[in-house]
């Protein structure tokens, strides 16, 4: 039986930017890594993707992207489930593959969350729950 217990944690000084800790994390193929907006480091996310690892990250509000395709039938509270490509100059160079963008309405907090992931094999609701 497989358990879902964190196998790693890294504590840093408050003055250290969060995205610097991404380099310290030992990534394992077929595992999921959940990051907050401070981790929008597309160069590092692409390295994670190349290892065969999945990530879910909250998108920044100024994310520049172009929708490529989207799903029409969506479960409750999933506002959008799209395949996108990044259009910002550096993000597009650092992450040259498509990504999945999921918009989710959290009823409890009464707010929208926007997630980016390379996990295309799970449902949009699972992306939001992660």
Q: What digits encode the pLDDT tens for the residues 81-110?
A: 999 999 999 999 999 999 999 999 999 999
Contacting residues for 104 by C-beta, under 8 A, at least 6 apart: 77, 78, 79, 112, 113, 114, 115, 124, 127, 128
Identify whether 49 is part of a domain: yes
pLDDT at 3 over 70: no
Domain that includes residue 60, residue range: 26-129
Identify whether 105 is part of a domain: yes
Identify whether 103 is part of a domain: yes
pLDDT at 111 over 60: yes
Identify whether 19 is part of a domain: no
More confident site: 7 or 66: 66
Q: What is the pTM of this model?
A: 0.86
Identify whether 67 is part of a domain: yes
Query: What is the number of domains present in the chain?
Result: 1
Identify whether 7 is part of a domain: no
Identify whether 1 is part of a domain: no
Express each pLDDT in 6-48 by its tens digit. Answer: 666 767 777 766 666 778 788 999 999 888 877 789 999 999 9
Identify whether 110 is part of a domain: yes
Residue among 38, 55, 59, 36 at smallest CA distance from 47: 55
């Amino acid at each position: 039986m497989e358990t879902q217990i964190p196998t790693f944690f890294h504590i840093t000084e408050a003055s250290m930017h969060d995205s610097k800790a991404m380099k310290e994390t030992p990534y394992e193929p077929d595992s999921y890594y959940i990051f907050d907006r401070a981790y929008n480091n597309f160069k590092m996310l692409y390295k994670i993707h190349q290892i065969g690892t999945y990530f879910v990250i909250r998108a920044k509000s100024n994310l520049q992207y172009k929708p490529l395709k989207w799903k029409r039938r969506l479960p409750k509270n999933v506002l959008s489930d799209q395949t996108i490509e990044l259009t910002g100059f550096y993000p597009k160079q650092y992450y040259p593959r498509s990504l999945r963008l999921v918009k989710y309405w959290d009823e409890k907090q009464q707010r929208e969350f926007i997630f980016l992931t390379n996990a295309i094999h799970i449902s949009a609701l699972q992306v939001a729950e992660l």
